[in-house]
Amino acid sequence: MRLLVYITKRLLLVIPTLIGVSFVCFALVRVLPGNPVYFIVGPYATEEEIAKVKTELGFDRPIPEQYLIYLDNVLHGDLGYAWHTSQPVADDIKQRLPLTIELATISLIITLIVAVPLGVISAVQRGSWVDNIARVVAVVGVSMPMFWSGLLLIYMFFYKLDWAPPPMGAIDLLIEAPPRVTGMILLDSLISGNWEAFGSAISHLVLPAITLALPMIGSITRMTRSSMAEVLHSDYVRTATAFGLPRRTVIYRDALQNALLPVVTMIGVLYGFALGGAVLVEMIFGLTGMGSYSFGSIMNLDYAGVQGVVLLVAIIFVIINLLVDITYAIIDPRISY
């Protein structure tokens, strides 16, 4: 019960932030330099069309009123019209969002599976060869730009070794895509039992997911390592050892539980990174998610699309961070609610 109250409180606190976010997105389109109408209508419009859009969209009204109109639109699901796809932005996003979420989530899972154990072993066996390799991998992962590593992976695994499929799309062009249930291709093919599609989808998602995961693995490995190292030197670990508790218990129960707490808080940040990085990765691998959509919008000077993506991604990010905070409050007994 107290938990529900806490959750409600946090939800309420998030609202001002969301309002701020919406205001920033509004400002990005309307207030900043550049003719906002062009952003909506595109560079090929005629004078009359421009004038019509101006009144239609209320650009002749004062800014605060425009903001309220914008907010009203957004809350009704109207994110504008993307002339380069001839669809409302909201529809475009609905189509493409699941793939990006899928990609980001898979990358995150890969990251946690690889980086956390690596960081822990690294800290426990400081100075060993595992530790040294882990440190090298970590710093290299963090230092490689995603758009470069992705391209290199394609070059190596597709062009040279022919192991990976061509970087075009999430599924082989010749295979029939599964019927759309969630929009996430892996889930959809599982749901419809289409193993061929599932296999193809996996092979298409492997390299993009790894590319996206690499910097995150680097970051989390380092973080886990330093958190674990710090905990291993703490008073309570020393005390547990002084009481003769077996080394294994001390490491994997006491130390690990404490060391992983900061990692949980990072999950939100990582997700934000993954969503941002998805722009680059989708572009390189030809995936039709929100990232490549925003890229396409930019190339076509169709700014309604970009701003729609920015707004939505920000909202998702805020929600994810909220979930992470609540989860953390539950698992750390020192936080009261």
Partner 1 sequence: MERLLEVKELQTYFFLRNDIAKAVDGVSFWMTPGEMVGLVGESGSGKSVTVLSVLRLIQPPGRIVSGEVIFQGRDLLRLPEAEINRTIRGQAISMVFQNPSSCLNPVLKVGTQISRVYSVHKKSSAGEARDRALEFLRLVQIPDPGRVMERYPHQLSGGMSQRVMIAMALICEPALVIADEPTTGLDVTVQGQILDLMRDLRHKTQAAQLLITHDLGVVAETCDRVLIMYCGKIVEVGEVGEIYSEPLHPYTDALLRSVPDVRKDFRTTTIPGSVPDPRDPPSGCRFHPRCKHCMDVCRLEEPLLISCQNGRQVACHLLEGDSTRQNQPISSQGEERGRDRTF
Partner 2 sequence: MTVVDDVALGDAGRPWWGARLWKRVEYPAYIIRRNPVTLFGFAVVVLFVIVGLAAPLLATHDPTAVSPADALKSPSREFWFGTDQYGRDVYSRVIHATRVDLFIALSSVGLAFTIGTVLGALAGYYGGATDMLLMRIVDVIMAFPPFILAMGTAAALGAGMANIIYVVALIQAPIYVRLARGEILSAKERAYADAARCLGNSGPRIIFGHLLPNCIPPILVQVAVNLSWAILNAAGLSFIGLGVRPPTAEWGLMINEGMSFMLSGQLWLVLFPGMAIFITILGFNLLADGLRDVFDPRLRW
82: helix, coil or strand?
strand
Q: Which does 99 bind (CB under 5 to 8 A by kind): partner 2, partner 1, none?
A: none
Question: Does residue 252 interact with partner 1 by CB under 8 A?
Answer: no
Q: Which does 298 bind (CB under 5 to 8 A by kind): partner 1, partner 2, none?
A: partner 2
What number of other Cβ atoms are within 10 A of residue 43's Cβ? 10
Helix (H) / strand (E) containing 21: helix 2-26
Q: Which does 163 bind (CB under 5 to 8 A by kind): partner 1, partner 2, none?
A: none
* Contacts to partner 2 by CB under 8 A: 16-18, 20-21, 23-25, 28-29, 32-34, 139-140, 142-148, 151-152, 154-155, 158-159, 233, 272-273, 275-277, 279-280, 283-284, 294-295, 298-299, 303, 306-307, 309-310, 313-314, 317-318, 321
> Which residue in 261, 264, 269, 322 binds partner 1 (CB under 8 A)?
261
The nearest distance, CB 92 to partner 2, in angstroms, is: 16
The answer to whether 295 and 283 are in contact (CB under 8 A) is yes
Residues 285-304 that bind partner 1 (CB under 8 A): none
Give backbone dihedrals phi and psi of 297, rounded to 5 degrees, phi first.
-60, -40
Residue 256 CB contacts under 8 Å (≥ 6 apart), including other chains: 120, 228
Q: Which does 144 bind (CB under 5 to 8 A by kind): partner 1, partner 2, none?
A: partner 2
Question: CB-wise, 234 or 300, nearer to partner 1?
Answer: 234
The nearest distance, CB 243 to partner 1, in angstroms, is: 4
Question: CB-wise, 76 or 334, nearer to partner 1?
Answer: 334
Distances in whole angstroms, Cα of residue 216 to Cα of each of 209, 226, 269, 276, 279 = 11, 15, 10, 12, 15
> Which residue in 9, 133, 239, 337 binds partner 1 (CB under 8 A)?
239
- How far is Cα 129 from Cα 136, in angstroms, rounded to an integer? 11
Distances in whole angstroms, Cα of residue 238 to Cα of each of 231, 233, 247, 261, 296 = 10, 7, 11, 19, 56
Which of 118, 95, 289 has its CA nearest to residue 209? 289
Residues forming the site for partner 1 (CB under 8 A):
234-236, 238-247, 249, 254, 257-258, 261, 332-334
